Amino acid sequence: MNDAEVPAWERALAVLPSLFLLLPATFALLDNWRPSVFLLSLAALVWMAVLFRAGHRLLLRFVYLAGMLVLLGFLVHADSLFSVTGVGLFLQVFTLLPGRTAYAGVAATCAVLVLARPRSGEGVGDLIVSFLIAVLIASATGLLFTAISNQSEQRRQLIAELRRTTTELAALAEQNAELQARLLTSAREAGVLGERQRMAREIHDTIAQGLTGIVTQTEAAEDDPTTSRARLSTIGGLARQSLAEARRSIHALRPGPLQDSDFAAALEKLVADWSAGGVPATLTVTGEPVALHTEVESTLIRVAQEALTNITKHADARQVVVTLSYLDDVVALDLHDDGQGFVPAPAERGGGRPEWAVGGFGLLVMRQRLARLAGSLVVESGSDRGTAISATVPVIPPNSGASE
């Protein structure tokens, strides 16, 4: 603990006993110069300076107090002004002696002050009364002093504990930040790998199959020229379909709607454009909109695109309702269609909590995207009961450490 952290009363305690000795010595010598008083005062001051902080051993403390009582007795006998020095010695007694031993030291000091004082016709009864009053006042002062000292020590320990806790929390926060950075890096790498796998499978299932059909039709036309016109028409259809799939895959590489508008507006445009294809779709925004990290917005846009694409391919829906909900610490995107639905298979996830494990590569991709941001995907569906998809992602502000 440095000097700035030491309580003021403790700093004063180091000098007060010396002042209680120097002040009466000064006034006594100015009033009547006496070499004996000067030498006794000097001896008491040196004794106090050398032995008061000399060590922590109890025996040495008793030696110091015994010497001070002897010197105090001579000083008080020489001049009653030195009774003031006893106040400083009371403070030192409660500092040096433990527990009830301190009150014995107080009693000894009071006895010295009463007995060494020059007599002025006082009887034994007067001396006893003076002694008892001195002990009572000194003991009450000692109780107050001890209470303040204990509170100061508790405060010092509490501050030290708070500092240790703060240091540990700072170290833990730094470790958490490093861990989060590593997790985000791992998630990005896993996301890149997952995206490559998804694109590879999608190209295989769409463009590659279309090109295979074109090659097959071309070879068939070469083998049977009479059917070349019909096969050229089929080839053209396959080529246009493959081109459309290629453009859709390229468009899916980056969420274009986010380039020119905010997240809610981009989602609204996405739903409106999809609805123009023939199936009515509505978007409802609930809660107080908050700024989100770009990766959160991109993920939810991708989930919406994938879900709407799945509805187009499989649901045979007549209406779709999309809801974007800003909650306290999460953002939820819900899509519900009234299509034919399917029967999902229940599975167990870590912790024993049931989670819908639904088939379909698109839903798997959505789960992987959301998992990168500690999000979740819940799917509820049934034959002829439509499908409800709920994607939930934690709110991550734009200035967070997450990287895209």
Domain 257-404 matching CATH 3.30.565.10: the answer reads yes
CA atoms within 13 A on the CB side of 234: 17
Please provide the DSSP assignment of 267-301 as one string: HHHHHHHHHTTSS-EEEEEES------HHHHHHHH
- Asked whether the predicted pLDDT for residue 357 surpasses 60, the reply is no
The per-residue pLDDT for 354 is: 35
The string of pLDDT tens digits covering residues 181-193 is 777 777 777 767 7
Instruction: List CB contacts of 400: < 8 A, sequence separation 6 or more.
Output: 293
Measured in Å, how far apart are the chain's first and last C-alpha atoms?
A: 47
Lookup: tokens for 348 = 């167990």
145's CB contacts (< 8 A; 6+ apart) are 91, 94
pLDDT tens digits, 283-296 = 999 999 888 888 88
More confident residue, 330 or 365: 330
Helix axis angle, 58-78 to 16-31, nearest 10°: 20
Question: What are residue 216's phi and psi, to 5 degrees?
Answer: -60, -45
Buried b (16+ CB within 10 A) or exposed e, 150-173: eeeeeeeeeeeeeeeeeeeeeeee
Q: What is the pLDDT, as a whole number, of residue 251?
A: 58
pLDDT at 133: 67
Beta-carbon count within 10 A of 278 CB: 8
Q: Which of 147-151, 272-276, 304-308, 358-362 has the lowest mean pLDDT?
A: 358-362
Q: What is the predicted pLDDT for the residue at 135?
A: 65
Residue 396 has pLDDT above 90, yes or no: no
pLDDT reported for residue 326:
93
H/E element, 331 = strand 330-337
What are the φ/ψ torsions at residue 117 (nearest 5 degrees)?
Answer: -65, 140
Give the residue extent of every domain in the chain.
257-404
Which among 159, 155, 135, 145 is positioned nearest to 86, based on CA atoms?
135
